[in-house]
Structure formats: structure tokens, C-alpha cells
Amino acid sequence: MDLREYLFQKKITIDQFAESINYSRTFIQCVITGKTKPGRKLVRTIEEKTEGQVTRHDLLKNFEGAIEKM
């Protein structure tokens, strides 16, 4: 599931989620919209925070070849 869907289902705002993982709302918004490719640390943090409901594949599906590099 993508991060936007996860947040919607859990009724968590982007602000709340970003704060809980120590990132800015703007940066997380850019990741959600595909404007910014998340780095390894952020990918692992999101996977852990969502208990695997949002995976590296979900986060990187818009970035060709990015999954293989993780």
C-alpha cells in the first residue's frame, strides 16, 4: 500500500506522521507525491513505522531502478 493510503486508513495526518519520524511535513509530502526519492534511511524508517504495511517497493515504484539499489 502506498503511504498516502496508509495515512488515510490510519487517520494520521502527514504532519503527525512526519513529526513521529523526525522529518519535515514538506519532505514527506514530496515523497508521497513522487517529487522526491526517499533515501535508504527514510525507507527503512517508514517500513518500521508502518510495521511493513508500506514497503520499499511501494515507496520506490515511481523511481525506475531504485529498488535494486536499496
Task: Please tell me the number of Cα atoms within 13 Å of 7 on its side-chain side.
Answer: 15
Q: Using alpha carbons only, what angle is made at residue 44 by residues 15 and 30, rounded to the nearest 5 degrees?
A: 40
List CB contacts of 23: < 8 A, sequence separation 6 or more: 42
Cα–Cα distance for residue pair 5/23, rounded to 1 Å: 19
pTM of the model: 0.86
List CB contacts of 55: < 8 A, sequence separation 6 or more: 47
pLDDT at 61: 86
Percent of the chain with pLDDT over 70: 90
pLDDT at 62: 76
47 with 2: CB under 8 angstroms? Answer: no
